[in-house]
Structure 1
Amino acid sequence: MSELSAQRDTDRADNRPRRFIPIASAASVGLASTRRQQRQRVALQMGFFILFVLAPVFDIFRYDLDADHAWLLGMEWRLGLDDFLAGKASALEAAGNIMLRLFVPLFIGAGVLLGVAWKWGRLYCGWLCPHFSVVETINRLMTRASGKPSVWERSTSPPWQADGSRLKVDARWWAVVLPAAVTFAFLWAVVLLTYLLPPAEVYSNLFHGELTRNQFIFITAVTVVLSLEFLFARHLFCRFVCAVGLFQSLAWMSNRNAMVVGFKRERASDCSSCLPERQSACDAVCPMRLRPRTIKRHMFTCTQCAQCVDACAETQRDNPEGPLLTWVSGEAARQNEAGFRTVRER
């Protein structure tokens, strides 16, 4: 009996229902990843904007016109020309100091920026730049006010958002758009002035209403110019005026293996079900007003913000094959561009 009982126990053990751990679909994994990436990007933008505002206050970096020298990481940063002006150093020594203390740091900083852009694109623009964070904020507010992220858009954006909800357009949001643009412009004007004059003096004069004539003119002029730029030309500035962005784009374009937004063209039919009325979520969310499903040279000013990738993952969240837009690099980036050429030849 004992042997028979043991055999029954063994059979029960072998035939008992087994618990399976479900494997996450490609769509759910992709959506979670893009959402986490966007949270990280927003956190970095906020952190860098705070650094941009506070850097002069803590002498992390600024140039003091009154003292006629710069500050770097809390220390005075001079070009070493005092001895030359006093006749105690030669012109050759002065030139060496300028090269070592001015041009070498500039070349190193530019090299790092362009090196990152060569491999990954305009990451500084999309992930750190304080101007681009304002661009995105005004975009969202203006879309709520008019249905368009820019006054220059010919048609309104799709009324549907990537998560399937409908965007409610209300003209009363203009009462937020205009003050927001002026407020950002005023903040920028004050902060830029603290990069040139002692921050304690600027903020004290501003708080007590005792700005000097030149300080008042500077803040007023910069506020007016930036208000107009934030309202009417913020995308145009990023695309055609900003030298930092331009050189990053040139470095990125020179590398055929650089990271790009890849499009799975063999599944292009899935785009027809992206949003109701056959509209594209990725086109609607791009802050630079680009078309993500195109060749690299048409994405020259892409800031790698990944909002198009996130929108695609959101709309394809129920598709077991996952999103159509993904980051690719190396040989995959080359094949992505080659695929576009093949389609064009056909």
Structure 2
Amino acid sequence: MSAALQRRRRLFQAAFLALFVSAPALDLLRWDLHEAQLWLLGRPWTLGIADFTAGRIGATEVALAILLRAFVPAIVLAVGFLYVAWRWGRLYCGWLCPHFSAVETLDRLMHRALGRASLWDAAPPAARGDWRWWPPFVLLAAGLGFLWAVTLLSYLLPPAEVWGRLLAGESTPNQARFLAVATAAFTAEFVFARHLFCRFGCAVGLFQSLAWMANPRAMVVAYDRARARDCRSCSTAAAPGGSACDTVCPMRLKPRDIKRRMFSCVQCGRCLDQCEQSQAAQAREPLLEWRTGADALRETLRLRAAELRAERPAPQPEEVV
């Protein structure tokens, strides 16, 4: 089940990445700096201010247009987005975000090149890298950095102009400077700080995490502690040294930990996939599973009680006089 879930998640990621790159060219969403005009779903999105300035509509009409075409859609979008996070956590990050898709892809290449998924991770005892994977890793990081830079520029200027000038080698000085600086910044981030940005620098992820933490019934990864001894023999192809669920987490979290320490969990389900693989190889049920609603609340309360018991100082023996 988890393997199929991961295939489905990668399809969602690929589809959203294609949408992210093609949206400006299809006029699905972009801001034209030349015309100071927002394009949405193939049509110019106006608030009636130009008509009001020209005297074609009155103050009431323009105020109503601003309310219905700016404030209401923004509020509905924000509330809907935070509601999804409140119920299920950072699903956008783990299932759609183009940046996170790049993070996971580059992690896999760096693991092949270095024996671990990040420059800042501690090397496993038997970690072995292959230097032949370094050129593909660096080239992909630079290619993604350039793609991100061009795509962001096409959200601000007509995509035909951006791509046309780029292919003809005639980009304006300002466009060339933007592309050079943005490509360098994105490439450096992809090489050195991929998951660090997701954990500590992304405002979209932060607000999702805050909404998720506010709901004790939100979806969580539950751990069957009664079978904790089964973790001793946990091993998969991705983590032959054991602790597979910890090893594969792209956010460097411990999936068996309490919710408070899982603040930046993106609900990617990779820990569940590894747990299922490991336990299935030994004809056992997985120890990790998603839980929601009352089950999630019970899991949260149980882990909180266990944490309090662990932090409580041990009683001191009475002194014998």
Is the TM-score greater than 0.5? Answer: yes
Seen in structure 2, the aligned counterparts of structure 1 residues 232 and 277 have a Cα distance that, compared at 3 Å, is closer
- Normalising by structure 1, we get a TM-score of 0.84
Cα distance in 1 for residues equivalent to 2:90 and 2:301: 22
Equivalent position of 1:41 in the other structure: 9
SS at 2:290's partner residue? strand
SS at 1:58's partner residue? coil
Equivalent position of 1:97 in the other structure: 65
In terms of Rg, which structure is larger? 1
Seen in structure 2, the aligned counterparts of structure 1 residues 195 and 330 have a Cα distance that, compared at 3 Å, is same
Aligned partner of 2:211 among 248, 251, 269: 251
- Normalising by structure 2, we get a TM-score of 0.90
Aligned partner of 1:177 among 110, 130, 137: 137
Q: Post-superposition shift, 1:125? A: 0.5
Between the two structures, name the one with larger relative contact order (CA 8 Å, sep ≥ 6): 1
CA RMSD between the two structures? 1.8
Equivalent position of 1:107 in the other structure: 75
Q: Post-superposition shift, 1:297? A: 0.9
Q: Post-superposition shift, 1:49? A: 0.3
Equivalent position of 1:69 in the other structure: 37
Alignment check: 8 A CA contact 2:114 2:128 kept: no
Which amino acid in 2 is paired with 1:202? V
SS at 1:316's partner residue? helix
Cα distance in 1 for residues equivalent to 2:116 and 2:203: 27
Q: Deviations over 1:124-180 (max 9, x none)?
A: 100000010001011111111111211111x12475xxxxxxx86212211111111
Cα distance in 1 for residues equivalent to 2:305 and 2:57: 65
Cα distance in 1 for residues equivalent to 2:240 and 2:268: 26
Aligned partner of 2:267 among 278, 288, 304: 304
SS at 1:169's partner residue? coil
Q: Deviations over 1:159-202 (max 9, x none)?
A: 5xxxxxxx862122111111111100000100111111111111
Aligned partner of 2:87 among 119, 125, 142: 119
Seen in structure 2, the aligned counterparts of structure 1 residues 104 and 277 have a Cα distance that, compared at 3 Å, is closer
SS at 2:265's partner residue? coil
Alignment check: 8 A CA contact 1:118 1:251 kept: yes
1:193 aligns with 2:161: no
Equivalent position of 2:258 in the other structure: 295
Give the stretch that moved more between structures: 112-121 or 170-179.
170-179
SS at 2:44's partner residue? strand
1:333 aligns with 2:296: yes
- 1:1-346 equivalences under 5 Å are 33-89=1-57, 93-153=61-121, 155-157=122-124, 169-275=129-235, 279-344=242-307, 345=309
SS at 1:66's partner residue? coil
Q: Deviations over 1:316-339 (max 9, x none)?
A: 113343111111111211222233
Cα distance in 2 for residues equivalent to 1:329 and 1:236: 28
Structure 1: which 5+ runs fail to align?
1-32, 160-166
Q: Post-superposition shift, 1:68? A: 1.3
SS at 2:222's partner residue? strand
Number of residue pairs matched by the alignment? 306
SS at 2:280's partner residue? coil
Which amino acid in 1 is paired with 2:196? L
Q: Deviations over 1:20-50 (max 9, x none)?
A: xxxxxxxxxxxxx101100000000000000
Which amino acid in 1 is paired with 2:68? L
Alignment check: 8 A CA contact 1:186 1:223 kept: yes
Cα distance in 1 for residues equivalent to 2:305 and 2:284: 24
Cα distance in 2 for residues equivalent to 1:106 and 1:238: 24
Seen in structure 2, the aligned counterparts of structure 1 residues 278 and 146 have a Cα distance that, compared at 3 Å, is closer
Q: Post-superposition shift, 1:240? A: 1.6
Q: Deviations over 1:85-106 (max 9, x none)?
A: 2345555544433232222111
Alignment check: 8 A CA contact 1:157 1:284 kept: no
